[in-house]
Amino acid sequence: MSTLIINGTIINADKSILADVLIEDGKISKIGTNLQNDFKDNKIIDAKDRYIFPGGIDPHVHMHLPSPAGYSADDFETGSRAALYGGTTTIIDFVTPKKGQSLKEALIQRKEEAKDCQTHYSLHMSPIEWRDSMDAEIEECIQLGLKSFKVYMAYKDSIGLNDDVLFKVMQSIGKTGGVLLVHCEMGDEIDELRNQFIEEGKTSSKYHPLSRPSELEAEAVKKAIDLADRANCTLYIVHVSSKDSLKYIREAQVKGQKVFAETCPQYLLLDDSKYKGNFEETAAYVMSPPLRKEADNNALWEAIQKGEIQTIGTDHCPFNLEQKRFGEMDFRKIPNGAGGVEHRTSLLHTYGVLEGKISLNQLVELTSTNVAKIFGMYPQKGTIAEGSDADLVIWNPESEEVISSKTHHMNCDLNIYEGLTSKGSAELVMLAGQVVLENGKLTAETLRR
């Protein structure tokens, strides 16, 4: 069955064109004008006054993430459905092995957890320790097609790496040509601050951001860049939140080091005033890194405009209020993370494109094209071109909503964007040529899957 989209404006990272798109066997087979005259027997979709985006690719989500307060609120099924509502057709999650577990065994287990995923998905592998076989295990991942890895400099009591292990992992990935994602926060120093606050009886959530200052993110960014340079390893710094970090990223990029940077909508649009209030008002914002100052928001927008930040992910990792209560008496125990997979494109459209900070083409570049390029999916994904996958979003730029946990599709009773107005939404979403969302709603067939 073939489908023809007519009258829409195709938005790619490099240009926008008014053209028809013919889809056959899950791929884009032709792009041109007046295709309707030649192809009469197709299902026709009229995209007049609409944009056509390549499906969004979210490089950073955590579905079904274990924590002492239970699993994060979205599993692969619910979280990926929410992603489709937001125009994201591919998510990249993580494999986090348990101590002693082989990378391959952990990968098999994670794939089982992801089996009901409703979008395309891919995984970054997270080595949490070093052992003699690690070089070979990393090489095996590469052979299996898993070319991106993620390590944590924070969370030293569980999955965080010490510098010597971090360097060994970088050397190993450097040899294979993979990409290393790093969560940059100085773990030991942060743990010290956290413990000090608790000893002083400072237990509330407002101490979460104070225990993870911007300087400790920047210091970790600098260290990761230096180590990656010595190890000849391509670096991708996740969820950059602070102005201070940007300085080191810029310097490395200028001297030609392969360093990519990602930020998230929460670090562009929200600030640390959200930590003023009682537990119920502030717990949703407990995430790492924490929200920063308005000056940081502005510096991140500027870095996006200058091309110093290449991607925008969500770090989607929602927890319900009851789960957050696990740390009501001790902020160290509040599960870290917030949901956002559903709102990435509409927030960036509203507060980026409509406010003149980025163009529509940059929106596509940041949320799809660059992600596909960095993680080896391009040009199959990340662009609207003949031969590419028909993962497409028909975007209505005029629709408006007020974001609320009462109406969102994420499986969580908190929403960090509660009350914000967003303009623009996914009206139709196509996954490998199949319509999975129509008139802003998942199709009956998608819901049955």
Q: How far apart are CA 148 and CA 342, in angstroms?
A: 24
SS3 for 420? coil
Q: With the CA atoms of 307, 309, 312 and 313 taken in that order, what torsion angle do they form, in degrees rounded to the nearest 10?
A: 150
Closest contact distance (angstroms) between CB of 212 and ligand URP is 10
Q: Binding ligand URP by CB under 6 A: which of 54, 127, 187, 337?
A: 337
**Do 80 and 119 contact (CB within 8 A), yes or no?**
yes
| Residue placing its CB nearer to Zn ion in the complex, 315 or 427 | 315
Q: Does 211 bind ligand URP (CB under 6 A)?
A: no
315 is a contact residue toward ligand URP (CB under 6 A): yes
Least distance from ligand URP to the Cβ atom of residue 149, Å = 14
**243 touches ligand URP (CB under 6 A):** no
Q: Is 317 in the site for ligand URP (CB under 6 A)?
A: yes
Q: Which of 12, 52, 62, 266 binds ligand URP (CB under 6 A)?
A: 62
Residue 262's binding partner out of Zn ion, ligand URP, none, with CB under 5 to 8 Å set by partner kind: none
Binding residue for ligand URP (CB under 6 A) from 336, 367, 369, 370? 336
Q: What amino acid is encoded at 312 in this protein?
A: I
DSSP letter assigned to residue 441: E
Closest CA to 206 of 290, 316, 322, 325: 290
What span, in angstroms and rounded, lies between the C-alpha atoms of 329 and 442? 40
Asked if 262 touches Zn ion (CB under 5 A), the answer is: no
- Return the residue of 3, 96, 211, 288 that touches ligand URP, per CB under 6 A: 288
Gap between the Cα atoms of 54 and 391, Å rounded: 6
CB-nearer residue toward ligand URP: 141 or 153: 153
Does 183 help bind ligand URP (rule: CB under 6 A)? yes
Strand partners, 237: 182, 261
Residue closest to 224 by CA, chosen among 134, 152, 142, 312? 152
Is the Cβ of residue 9 or residue 67 nearer to Zn ion in the bound state? 67
Question: By CB neighbour count within 10 A (0-12 exposed, 13-18 middle, 19+ buried), where does 209 fall?
Answer: buried
208 binds, among Zn ion, ligand URP, none (CB under 5 to 8 A by kind): none
Query: What phi and psi, each to the nearest 5 degrees, are found at residue 199?
Result: -60, -35
**74 binds Zn ion, rule: CB under 5 A:** no
**Interface pick for Zn ion out of 58, 315, 365, 389 (rule CB under 5 A):** 315
Query: Which residue, 217 or 365, has its beta carbon nearer to ligand URP?
Result: 217
Question: If phi over 0 gives left and psi between -120 and 50 gives alpha, with beta otherwise, what is residue 301?
Answer: alpha
Chain positions contacting Zn ion, by CB under 5 A:
315
Chain positions contacting ligand URP, by CB under 6 A:
62, 183, 287-288, 315, 317, 336-337
